[in-house]
Amino acid sequence: MLGEFEYLLLSAAARLGEDAYGAAIRREIEGATKRRCAVGALYTTLDRLEAKGLVTTWMGDPTPQRGGRPKRMVRVTAKGIQEAKGFFRAVSRASRGLSWAIDPVKVP
Amino acid sequence: MMRSGWLFLSVLARALEPAERDVVLGDLAESGEGVGPATRHLLGLIVRRQVGLWLAWRPWLALLGVSCLAAVSLSRIVYRLNVDLHKHAAGYATSLTAGQEVAFLVLLAGAVTVWSWTCGFVLGALSGRAVWLTWSVFYFVVLDSAFVRFVLMGNIVLRNPRTHEAVLDSLQGTLRLLMVTTLPLSLAGLLFAFPALAETATVVKWRQPGNRQAALPRHSVFQQGKLIRHADRLRRRSRNGRLPARDGRFPPR
């Protein structure tokens, strides 16, 4: 089963699609959680997910915005999507009937 | 971010793998964070990576096997060489002839160099990016274990409030102590520090030494065994009084 941060990372990478890379995923997670996302946590979790076969990563092209440095591009694998679905279903089942799950939080 | 800030971050990022270093510095540049938060992020990643390295057995083997055990044995040979070099320079009377004494010193120096080189190879091959810690421990154990032994035995007094003649009782003495315990100031110290450092750096750069490179330490261990045996034989023969001293006479029993 995935961890909370692993699920957040997979969701952000899946939402970004072809544009998923380190800094963009970090922005996406910070936007969703309204909390700071540490670079260390992001890259160590990304390594763990890659080792589990849930994502694949490769070096992207360097851009002037990044001082000519490359990006680490991320793509969620089919296995990663299955794991994320499983996590979501488990959280949904666990939340059934609970007061905070009856009135879903409005997403701005 | 200021240029000096980037320079600092680039130096700090050298603790990471080259590919990851570029990616992370690029992310920090893109996010436009200040030096403070960027340093925090970078340090966080470095700490996580270093902790991750120590979850494997190889750095532990390097630390315990080479930096602690082998380094203590090497420190004894380095100390022996240091003392004998001083004795030789001062013209201290020994039971060896001049030629034998030089041969003994050369053999001992060769053993120190080869052993240090071998330790450097093994440290580099086992430690990976944890090498800065295993090498530092190795260096200070070899350099300072004789000194620590003398302090523990009471031969060196660090502080003496009654006489004020101890090492740490004056600024000069303290600075000298700091230099002696951190820098390889003697010839023996240089003979151990440079081969070990050069070989560690080479192996870390290669990453995966090939079969030929891996065969070198095996060969060197064999050679240093021969060197030490030769040196020991020279000393034992002189102790038995079978060899004349530098002036041609045999030492008194």
Rounded to whole angstroms, how far apart are CA atoms A20 and A28? 10
- Interval A31-41 mean pLDDT: 93
Residue of A40, A63, A70 lying closest to B44 (CB–CB): A40
In B, minimum Cα distance to A27 occurs at B31
Is position B72 within any domain? yes
Rounded to whole angstroms, how far apart are CA atoms B68 and B233? 28
Question: Which has the closest alpha carbon to A25: A67, A64, A60?
Answer: A60
- B147 and B207 inside one domain: yes
Q: What residues of chain A lie within 8 A of the CB of B48, using their CB?
A: 40-41, 44
**Residue matched to tokens 């079969």:** B211
Domain ranges of chain A: 4-95
Rounded to whole angstroms, how far apart are CA atoms A33 and A54? 22
B26-30, B92-96, B107-111: range with lowest mean pLDDT = B92-96
**Residue matched to tokens 């004795």:** B87
Q: Quick one: tokens of A86?
A: 């499983």
- B123 and B11 inside one domain: no
Give pLDDT, residue A5.
95
B62 Cβ partners below 8 Å, 6+ apart? B122, B123, B126, B127, B130, B131, B134
**This prediction's pTM:** 0.70
How confident is the prediction for chain A on average, in pLDDT? 91
User: Does residue B103 surpass a pLDDT of 80?
Assistant: yes
Cβ–Cβ under 8 Å, residues A87 and A2: yes
- B24 and B75 inside one domain: no
- B70 and B98 inside one domain: yes
Is position B244 within any domain? no
Give pLDDT, residue B3.
77
Is position B213 within any domain? yes
Q: Write out the DSSP string of chain B.
A: --HHHHHHHHHHGGGS-HHHHHHHHHHHHHHT--HHHHHHHHHHHHHHHHHHHTTSSHHHHIIIIIIIIIHHHHHHHHHHHHHHHHHHHTT---SS-HHHHHHHHHHHHHHHHHHHHHHHHHHHHHHGGGHHHHHHHHHHHHHHHHHHHHHHHTSS-S--TTT--SGGGSHHHHHHHHHHHHS--SHHHHHHHHHHHHHHHHHHHHSS--HHHHHHHHHHHHHHHHHHHHHHHHHHHHHTT-S--TTSPPPP-
| Tens-place pLDDT, residues A41-82 | 999 999 999 999 999 999 988 888 888 889 999 999 999 999
B12 touches chain A (CB under 8 A): no
- B112 and B12 inside one domain: no
Is position B253 within any domain? no
- Interval A20-40 mean pLDDT: 94
- B213 and B90 inside one domain: yes
- B112 and B175 inside one domain: yes
Q: Which of residues 4-23 of A touch B (CB under 8 A)?
A: 22-23
Please indicate whether, in this complex, the C-beta atoms of A23 and B22 are within 8 angstroms of each other: no
Is position B248 within any domain? no
- Give me the CATH code for the A4-95 domain, please: 1.10.10.10
B76-85, B128-137, B162-171: range with lowest mean pLDDT = B162-171
Q: What residues of chain A lie within 8 A of the CB of B30, using their CB?
A: 23, 65-66
- B114 and B9 inside one domain: no
- B129 and B231 inside one domain: yes
In which band, very low, low, confident or very high, does the pLDDT at A86 lie, cut at 50, 70 and 90? Answer: very high
Its ipTM equals: 0.86
Domains identified in chain B, total number: 2
User: Does residue A16 surpass a pLDDT of 90?
Assistant: yes
Give pLDDT, residue A64.
83
Give pLDDT, residue B33.
83
- B228 and B128 inside one domain: yes
- Interval A9-16 mean pLDDT: 96
- B84 and B153 inside one domain: yes
Please indicate whether, in this complex, the C-beta atoms of A41 and B44 are within 8 angstroms of each other: yes
Is position B92 within any domain? yes
Q: Quick one: tokens of A40?
A: 């260390």
Structural domain boundaries, residue B44? 3-53
- B19 and B84 inside one domain: no
Rounded to whole angstroms, how far apart are CA atoms B54 and A102? 46
Please indicate whether, in this complex, the C-beta atoms of A39 and B48 are within 8 angstroms of each other: no
In which band, very low, low, confident or very high, does the pLDDT at B23 lie, cut at 50, 70 and 90? Answer: very high
- Listed in order, strand segments (DSSP E) in chain A are 55-59, 72-76
Is position B245 within any domain? no
Best mutation target, A66, A71, A73, to test chain B (most B CBs within 10 A): A66
The alpha carbon of residue B122 is apart from the nearest alpha carbon of chain A, in Å, by 28
Is position B231 within any domain? yes
| More confident site: B121 or B215 | B121
